[in-house]
């Protein structure tokens, strides 16, 4: 069966990609990506906003894919109230009364929380209906864009089966903090965040291009220094190193600079589907070379965006990879 491809409007020199132009008898058709940015745990709104805007620009410039979005529901995620201390026998009458009052206030707050949480859960289940097996028939790939927490997917097993059947999964940033209670998710993703320890702050991280010929790495220097917040470069362990292509790695711990081996971006087959993950992008200026007050030069942002686009196109089977 003939693969449908689309000629990229972006300069091949800038991207280092080799997307063929369609022949006269080939249909020019963009792939369809569903971008999911919901969360039930930590919410990284700044990173989500920057990533979504960059994805829109890349889609418009490349003409290779279109985007639809699954965003956070309108109902805010409520916070659990903290229980009050129990009354103590040695407390004064006034203290006892205050503790009793605090206990009553907690019960009221807990009831309000349960009601608000039910509303939030109902709404997030509703927006995630686009990830049902029936709905996924309309898409060629899914992007988990700084998602986090266990998402109430309509059919988790069906979602994994859909990827295995020949579709793309692209994980960005905190996608590795998603579905933490589901080991099968990490089997699909190909790696898991293990830990972070050490002082948090801005660091210069030297990234090693481990796969220079891969579409996601073609435009990346052999050694590439980026300015990132240290906790945005956590330690990962690959679930199946033999069948995972490491793309970008660091060889010093971001916490204390001790030697080691830490993958930051990788690509892998999952059944007949493809998975691309990159943890880079915690610094907003990597998503947009036009931003002022930068910690990274504009050229670094362009390299990162080429890395991202190359990974997306590989996952969508525009490129065979190496």
pLDDT tens for 255-305 read 677 788 889 999 999 999 999 999 998 888 999 999 998 999 999 999 999
**What pLDDT is attached to residue 95?**
83
Tokens of 166: 């020949």
**Would you state the torsion angle of the CA atoms of residues 180, 244, 280, 145, taken in this order, to the nearest 10 degrees?**
-50
Per-residue confidence (pLDDT) for residue 224, from 0 to 100: 95
Do 93 and 183 form a contact (C-beta atoms < 8 A)? no
Do residues 247 and 279 make contact, with C-beta atoms less than 8 angstroms apart?
no
Q: Which range among 3-12, 83-92, 217-226 shows the weakest confidence by mean pLDDT?
A: 3-12
The token pair that represents 8 in the structure block: 């990229």
Q: For residue 14, what pLDDT is reported?
A: 42
> Which pLDDT band holds residue 320 (cuts at 50, 70, 90)?
low
Is the separation of the CB atoms in 31 and 62 below 8 Å? Answer: no
What distances in angstroms separate CA 61 from CA 33, 53, 73, 295, one per listed residue? Answer: 15, 12, 29, 25
CA neighbor of 278 nearest in space, from 319, 228, 222, 320: 228
Predicted confidence at residue 319, as pLDDT, reads 61
Q: What's the pLDDT score for residue 43?
A: 86
In angstroms, rounded to a whole number, what is the distance separating the alpha carbons of residues 192 and 259? Answer: 20
Which pLDDT tens digit goes with each residue over 70-79?
999 988 889 9
- Read off the pTM: 0.86
* pLDDT for res 300: 96
pLDDT of res. 20 = 39
DSSP-assigned letters across all residues of 33-44: EEEE--BSS---
Q: How far is CA 264 from CA 170, 249, 304, in A?
A: 14, 5, 13
Question: Where in the chain do CATH 3.40.50.880 domains reside?
Answer: 12-72+134-315
Nearest to 149 by CA among 254, 77, 91: 77
Which pLDDT band holds residue 159 (cuts at 50, 70, 90)?
A: very high
The most confident of the ranges 87-91, 119-123, 232-236 is 119-123
Better-scored residue on pLDDT, 193 or 47? 47
What is the assigned CATH class of domain 12-72+134-315?
alpha beta
Q: Using the predicted structure, report yes or no on whether residue 57 has a pLDDT greater than 90.
A: yes
pLDDT at 214 over 90: yes
Number of Cβ within 10 Å of residue 97's Cβ equals 12
Question: In this model, does residue 116 exceed pLDDT 60?
Answer: yes
> Which two tokens mark 79?
């916070």
The burial of 63, by beta-carbon neighbours within 10 Å (0-12 exposed, 13-18 middle, 19 or more buried), is given as middle
Task: Kindly list the distances between the CA atom of residue 246 and the CA atoms of 85, 224, 225, 322, in Å, as whole numbers in the listed order.
Answer: 50, 15, 17, 12
Average pLDDT over residues 232-236: 66
Least confident of 21-35, 42-56, 215-229: 21-35
Within 8 A by CB and 6+ apart from 279, the residues are 173, 176, 232, 233, 234, 236, 264, 265
Mean of per-residue pLDDT scores for the chain? 86
């Amino acid at each position: 069966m003939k693969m449908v491809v689309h000629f990229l409007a972006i300069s091949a020199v800038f991207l280092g990609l080799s997307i063929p132009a369609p022949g006269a008898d080939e249909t020019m058709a963009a792939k369809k990506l569903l971008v999911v940015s919901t969360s039930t745990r930590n919410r990284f709104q700044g990173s989500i906003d920057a990533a979504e805007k960059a994805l829109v620009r890349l889609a418009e410039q490349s003409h290779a894919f279109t985007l639809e979005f699954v965003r956070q529901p309108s109902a805010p995620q409520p916070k659990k109230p903290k229980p009050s201390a129990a009354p103590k026998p040695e407390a004064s009458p006034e203290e006892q009364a205050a503790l009793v009052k605090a206990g009553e206030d907690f019960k009221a707050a807990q009831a309000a929380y349960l009601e608000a949480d039910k509303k939030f859960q109902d709404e997030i289940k509703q927006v995630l209906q686009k990830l049902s097996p029936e709905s996924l028939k309309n898409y060629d790939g899914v992007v988990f864009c700084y998602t986090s927490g266990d998402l109430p997917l309509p059919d988790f097993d069906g979602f994994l089966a859909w990827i295995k059947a020949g579709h793309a999964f692209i994980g960005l940033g905190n996608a590795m903090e998603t579905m933490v209670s589901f080991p099968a998710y990490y089997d699909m993703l190909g790696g898991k965040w293990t830990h972070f320890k050490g002082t948090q702050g801005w660091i210069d991280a030297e990234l090693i291009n481990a796969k220079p010929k891969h579409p996601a790495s073609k435009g990346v220097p052999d050694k590439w220094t980026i300015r990132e917040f240290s906790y945005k470069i956590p330690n990962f362990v690959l679930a199946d190193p033999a069948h995972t292509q490491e793309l970008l790695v660091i060889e010093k711990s971001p916490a204390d600079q001790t030697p080691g081996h830490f993958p930051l971006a990788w690509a892998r087959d999952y059944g007949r589907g493809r998975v691309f993950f990159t943890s880079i992008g915690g610094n907003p200026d990597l998503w947009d070379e036009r931003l002022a007050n930068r910690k990274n030069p504009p050229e670094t942002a362009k390299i990162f965006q080429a890395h991202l686009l190359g990974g997306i196109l590989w996952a969508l089977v525009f490129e065979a990879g190496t």
